[in-house]
Homo-oligomer: A and B are copies of this chain.
C-alpha cells in the first residue's frame, strides 16, 4: 500500500507558473498615495528589479534561477502522502492526499519564496532585508534564506508573539536573523504608536509598516514580504506543480483542493497550477479556508485598501476587513490578516474559486485527529484546510462519492503545542469577530478614483 509519493531532485520545477496568464480578466494595478497606478520605478525603493518585473508580469512561465533551485533542494520536492489512516478513521470512500510542506528546515512552505527573494536581492547588490513576522514562520524562513545567500535580515516581530514564542525567535537568531519586538522605537511609525500606547501588543499591519519604513529609508536595505503579493504566490507554485506530477504517478487528479488562506500564498501555491487546468476546461474545485474569526473572503468587502496599518504600502483591490481591523487572538497567527492577495481576491470575486471559514475548536479537533492517524502534528494554519477537507470527506461518506481530495499541509505545529494543550484540556474556545469592529474599520478605506 503506497503511502508516500516522492520525486527525485531533478523533478523540482524549473519554472514558476504565473496565474495571471490564465485569468479571464487582467488584474487591476496597485495604486499609490496620489491615487495613480504605481509604476515599477516607484517600487524600486524597496524591491529589486527582477521581483518588480515578476510582480507585474503576464508571462505564463517564469524560469527559476539555478541557484534558487539548488537552495530548494535542501527540502524539495516535498513528499505527497496518501492519508490511508485518516481515511479509515473517518470511514470515507474519498481518497485523501496531502502535500507535506512541513519538511522545510523552517517547518513551513514559506522558504519557497524566501530563497527566491534573497537570491534576487543579493543579485541586485542589496545587503540587508527588512521584514515583519507574526507567529514567526516567515521570519524564520527569511532568516534561513538570508543566511544561505549572505544577506543580513532584520525582522519586526509582533510583540505578543515576540514575548510568547521565544523558540521561534531563537530559531531566527540561530540562522543569523536580527529580531526586534514590534512596535519598536527603531522606526517613526513604531515610535508614534508607542507614544500613544507604550504597551501596544502589536499587529502584522504595524510590523509591515515598520519594515517598509526601514527599507524605504536605507540604500542597502530592501523589503521582503511573505505573502499577499503576486511574486510571492508565483514562487509558491512549485507546490502545486509537484503535487500534480505526484498525483499523476498514481493516476489521480483531485476533485477538490483545500488550502489555508491568510495572505494567500499557501493557497495560491497549491491551487494556481490546477487553476491552469480549470481555465482549460478541466473540473477541479479550489477552496480557500480561513478562520471564522478573521473571515476576509467570506465576510469581507471587495474594495481598495492598504496592506498595512500605517498606509505605507500600495493600495490594492482586495477582499478586506479594513486595514484597522485587529482580529481576535486565535492561535493560527498566519491567518490573522485583514486583507488577502489581489489575485486570490479577484478569482474569488469572479466565482472561479471557493472559500469557507472554520471555527477554531473544529480546526484543533481536526489537527488532533490528523496527529493521531497520520503522525504529523499540523500547524494551526494547516488545520483549517484539514478541517474543511474532513467536512468534505464526511459528506462523501454520506453520499458514497469516491472523490479525490487534496490538501496542503502548510507546516508543522512544533511551536504550537501549548495551543494543542489548551484544546486537549478543554480550555480553548472559538473566537468571535465583532461585526461592529469590521464595519467601523471599513469606514476608513482609502478613496481611490482609479477607473476600473
User: Which residues of A are at the interface with B, using a C-beta cutoff of 8 A?
Assistant: 1-4, 6, 8-9, 70, 73-75, 85, 103-107, 144, 147-148, 166-167, 170-171, 173-176, 368, 371-372, 374-377, 414-415, 417-418, 420-421, 424
Distance to closest chain B CB from A148 (angstroms):
7
Q: A31–B375 Cα gap in the complex (Å)?
A: 38
Q: For the complex formed by this chain, how many copies does it contain in all?
A: 2
Contacts of A144 in B (CB 8 A): 375
Residues of B within 8 Å of A171, CB to CB, are: 377, 414, 417
Instruction: List 17 A–B pairs whose Cβ atoms lie within 8 Å, in order of A's numbering.
Output: A3-B9, A4-B73, A105-B371, A105-B374, A105-B375, A106-B375, A166-B417, A167-B167, A167-B415, A167-B417, A167-B418, A170-B421, A174-B371, A174-B372, A174-B424, A176-B372, A414-B414
Contacts of A107 in B (CB 8 A): 414
Instruction: Find out whether the CB atom of A414 lies under 8 angstroms from the CB atom of B167.
Output: yes
Query: Per a CB cutoff under 8 Å, which of B70, B375, B418, B420 touches A74?
Result: B375
Pick the contact of A375 from B6, B85, B148, B173 — CB < 8 Å? Answer: B148
Please tell me if the beta carbons of B174 and A374 are within 8 angstroms of each other in the complex: no
A2 to B376, CA, bound (A): 27
B4 touches A417 (CB 8 A): no
Query: Which B residues touch A148, using CB under 8 A?
Result: 85, 375
Identity of the chain B residue whose Cβ is nearest the Cβ of A71 in the assembled complex: B375
Q: Which of chain B's residues have a CB closer than 8 A to the CB of A4?
A: 9, 73-74
Question: In the assembled complex, how far is the CB of residue A265 from the closest CB belonging to chain B, in whole angstroms?
Answer: 20
In contact, B3 and A73 (Cβ under 8 angstroms): yes
Q: Which of A107, A167, A375, A414 gathers most chain B CB within 10 Å?
A: A375
Q: Are A424 and B173 within 8 A (Cβ)?
A: yes
The 4 closest A-B pairs by CB, nearest first: A105-B375, A170-B417, A3-B73, A170-B421
Q: What distance in Å separates the Cβ of A67 from its nearest Cβ neighbour in chain B?
A: 11
CB <8 Å contact, B1 and A70: yes
A413 CB, nearest partner CB in chain B, Å: 8
Give the chain B neighbours of A424 by CB distance below 8 A.
170, 173-174
Q: How far apart sit A400 and B3, CA to CA, in the bound complex (Å)?
A: 44
Q: Which residues of B contact A106 (CB under 8 A)?
A: 375
Closest to A140 in B: B377
> Which of B175, B368, B374 sits near A371, CB closer than 8 Å?
B175
Write out the residue numbers on chain B whose beta carbons fall within 8 Å of the beta carbon of A371: 105, 174-175
- A170: chain B residues at CB < 8 Å are 417-418, 420-421, 424
Write out the residue numbers on chain B whose beta carbons fall within 8 Å of the beta carbon of A147.
372
Q: Which residues of B contact A1 (CB under 8 A)?
A: 70
Contact A377 B420 (CB under 8 A): no
Given A9-B4, A174-B424, A374-B74, verify A414-B415 contact (CB < 8 Å): yes
B166 touches A377 (CB 8 A): no
Chain B nearest CB, measured from A96 CB (Å): 14
A175: chain B residues within 8 A (beta carbon): 371-372
| 9 further contact pairs, Cβ within 8 A, besides A6-B9, A144-B375 | A105-B374, A106-B375, A170-B420, A171-B414, A173-B424, A174-B372, A174-B417, A174-B420, A174-B424
